[in-house]
Amino acid sequence: MQTDGNRLTRLLAHTLLTALLAATPLVSHAQQTPDDFYRAEFVILERIIDPAAVNERMVTRKVEAPLDTSETLYRIARDGTSSSSLKLESRNQLHLGYAANRLENSGKYRVLMAAGWYQAFPPDYKGQPLRVEIGDWLAQAGQREIEGHITVDRQRYLHVAVHLNHWQEGKVALPPVAASGEPASLTAPVAASGTEGTADNTAGAEPTLKPEVPLELLTWIRETRRMRSEEIHFLDSPTIGVLVFFKKIEAKP
């Protein structure tokens, strides 16, 4: 259940997006094209917001395991290198690239991915899920903070299904405090003779505390949207949003 504050925040965000996107110029791409050829564009952005302000309370939601897919839209490895199984266009060639720059410059958003490519989407096209792994690296879990997949299908119209999870690292649960004032699990063990034993850690070393669970679900997007050529669509949650744009490329005589 969203609070009125969250609804207002998202309404203001939509208003800002509408104003920025209205001024977005269209980039042309002249080339020999087959039938049902499109430029597909996706921008994934993160709202700059304190996670504590999110009232979705999704920690207990059940999340399916990642799909086994050989196709990748955009993946950032642990070392920061990015990869894709698609031939992506440069950001400055995208219709949404201008919007992405303006959103970043507004100071309210962080653009995590701006990707576009050319592909034929004939009628009854059934696309493979495209894997997405972006955002900050969560060391405890060994993965990116935003992961999931996006699927493009075509029936009479193009349809985009967005399935993204926004994770945060689990909160550390501190052990109970012993009478000595030290956390009970960190006090040195007592030997059978009653003398103080030796702790496993080197004396003076800082204890390492780990969360009970490495990941907590912050928000997600689960939405399927019908697309029309040259219309910008915005799918969102309180913390992340996805801009989608398709342009049909007409074959030249």
Sequence letter at residue 88: L
Given this model, what pLDDT does residue 240 score? 97
Euclidean distance between CA atoms 235 and 52, whole angstroms: 22
| Run of H or E residues at 223 | strand 215-227
The mean pLDDT value for 72-92 works out to 97
Beta carbons of 139 and 170 less than 8 angstroms apart:
no
Strand partners, 160: 152, 225
Q: In the chain, what are the domain boundaries? A: 4-172+209-248
Burial class (CB in 10 A: 0-12, 13-18, 19+), 27: middle
Cβ burial of 25 (10 Å; 0-12, 13-18, 19+) is exposed
pTM listed for this prediction: 0.75
Query: In whole angstroms, what is the distance from residue 152 CA to residue 89 CA?
Result: 18
Terminal alpha carbon distance of the chain: 54
> pLDDT (tens digit, 9 = 90+) per residue, 142-199?
999 999 999 999 998 999 999 999 999 987 665 665 555 555 554 444 444 444 444 4
Dmax of the chain from CA atoms? 95
Structure confidence by residue, pLDDT tens digits, 207-249: 555 667 789 999 999 999 999 999 999 999 999 999 999 999 9
> pLDDT tens digit string along 112-145?
999 999 999 999 999 999 999 999 999 999 999 9
Contact 244, 227 (CB under 8 A): yes
